[in-house]
């Protein structure tokens, strides 16, 4: 049977329509449902219950989800950072506080808290920087000011100790006795001598404040120790380092009482 032109045209049009159906359906079909936001309620409940394990789990789901609302994410990171800190997982806590300050650099409290963690890790320069940042953001931040002051004093003391490390209580340039030269030549003995002198000075001063006679008696003990050290040095049965350690231990015991 002969097929007329009109039927051919209609058949071709139908074929085109059938080919287009998948494309039309794809273009007009329903889009995939958006992922619902993470519910902050479990994190809030865990924080309210002071349950660190649940805080890490529940707030972690909130903190690690980039789609979480910025304010909720900051709160979750702060909560989890606190839990990590209480569990002594310092690096994890610092990591959370790093993210918090990336999201909001103006949080003075977080600078101060992170500074305390850096100090606990022994990184004093980073701690000092964080305390300074907290004070710059909030000049009335009492905790940060106290932390900055105490750390600055600690660094000053460390600097002073480094400056005198390996140096005895006397001037090595004028040392004449063999025992003094031996102390000057040995950094460990030099440090022992300086510690003995420092503790003895404090013990005598404190005792003198209560009783000048007691202070004089303690100073006589120190003078006798030095005289005995000078006379005994060089003998085969004399251990200078042991004698100095025993003297320091005795003075520290006196200081405690």
Tell me the pLDDT tens digit for each residue of 28-42. 445 555 556 678 889
> Which positions of the chain have pLDDT values less than 70?
1-37, 161
Q: What token pair was written down for 110? A: 């977080």
pLDDT at residue number 176: 92
Separation of alpha carbons 133 and 76, rounded Å: 23
Q: Which helix (H) or strand (E) holds 75?
A: helix 70-86
> CA–CA separation, 224 vs 230, rounded Å?
10
Q: How far apart are CA 179 and CA 197, in angstroms?
A: 16
**196, 247 contact by CB (below 8 A):** yes
Kind and range of the H or E run holding 121: helix 108-121
Question: Which domains are assigned to the chain?
Answer: 41-162 (1.25.40.10), 172-256 (no CATH)
DSSP string for residues in 226-241: HHHHHHHTT-TT--HH
Cβ-Cβ contacts under 8 Å for 94 (sequence gap 6 or more): 81, 114, 117, 118, 121
């Amino acid at each position: 049977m002969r097929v007329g032109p009109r039927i051919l045209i209609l058949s071709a049009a139908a074929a085109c329509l059938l080919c287009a159906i998948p494309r039309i359906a794809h273009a007009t079909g329903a889009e995939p449902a958006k992922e619902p936001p993470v519910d902050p309620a479990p994190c809030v409940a865990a924080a309210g219950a002071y349950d660190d394990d649940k805080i890490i789990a529940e707030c972690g789901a909130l903190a690690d989800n980039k789609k979480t609302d910025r304010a909720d994410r900051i709160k979750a990171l702060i909560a989890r950072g606190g839990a990590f800190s209480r569990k002594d997982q310092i690096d994890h806590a610092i990591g959370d506080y790093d993210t918090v300050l990336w999201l909001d650099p103006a949080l003075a409290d977080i600078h101060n808290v992170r500074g305390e963690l850096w100090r606990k890790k022994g990184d004093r320069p980073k701690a000092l920087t964080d305390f300074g940042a907290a004070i710059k953001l909030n000049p009335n931040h009492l905790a940060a000011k106290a932390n900055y002051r105490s750390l600055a004093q600690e660094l000053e003391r460390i600097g002073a100790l480094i400056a005198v490390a390996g140096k005895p209580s006397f001037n090595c340039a004028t040392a004449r006795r063999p025992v003094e030269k031996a102390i000057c030549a040995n950094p460990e003995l030099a440090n022992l001598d300086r510690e003995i002198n420092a503790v003895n000075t404090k013990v005598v001063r404190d005792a003198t404040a209560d009783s000048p006679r007691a202070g004089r008696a303690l100073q006589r003990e120190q003078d006798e120790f030095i005289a005995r050290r000078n006379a005994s040095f060089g003998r085969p049965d004399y251990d200078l380092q042991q004698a100095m350690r025993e003297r320091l231990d005795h003075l520290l015991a006196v200081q405690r009482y």
